[in-house]
Amino acid sequence: MKIIIAIALVLVSVSGFAVEKSLTKSLKPGRIIVAKDGSAMAQFSVLSRDFSAPGLLVAKKTLTSVEWRTTHYPDNLNEEVEICYTEPGRIDHVLCEDISPNASGTTDKFNNFKFDMHARVTIRHSVKGGRNSGAPAGMDSVVINYSY
């Protein structure tokens, strides 16, 4: 009887542990045309194929942090960059945070929002001058950390 109770307690305590996972995505943002709006973005959508582990597609997931690395537009001036989060099922960003061009960092400011398939992280670059048609020096990338 004591063995059965001990096994039951172990099973209950193990099922309470969250599993940590991450999604890594990279994308080269588009060219910036200063004469138009002077901005370009890289959008990282969470897709069903990102949750390929058995049972993960239907599991309740919680965002734990977003790591980011940005490129820059070397032929343009006064570059500003922001990272934004869009909840699943929404079109508009629920929150944006100013970050730096050609830099990396981590944010946990999106953790209180719903996270699942169709969520989106966007890195948006804006410039105010320089070459009219500016090209990015490299890629933007994110690592979306979550638990379930």
What distance in Å separates the CA atoms of residue 114 and residue 86, rounded to the nearest whole number?
A: 9
Global pTM reads 0.86
Phi, psi of 116 (to 5 degrees): -175, -170
Predicted confidence band of residue 8 (pLDDT cuts 50, 70, 90): very low
What pLDDT digit, counting tens, does each position of 64-119 carry?
Answer: 999 999 999 999 999 999 999 999 999 999 999 999 999 999 999 999 999 999 99
Please check the confidence at residue 1 and state whether its pLDDT lies above 60. no
Complete domains list, the chain, with CATH: 18-147 (2.60.120.260)
Residues in contact with 86: Cβ distance below 8 Å, sequence separation at least 6, in sequence order: 92, 93, 94, 119, 120, 121, 122
Confidence band, pLDDT 50/70/90 cuts, at residue 6: very low
Answer for the pair 75, 136: CB distance below 8 angstroms, yes or no. Answer: no
Q: What is the predicted pLDDT for the residue at 52? A: 87
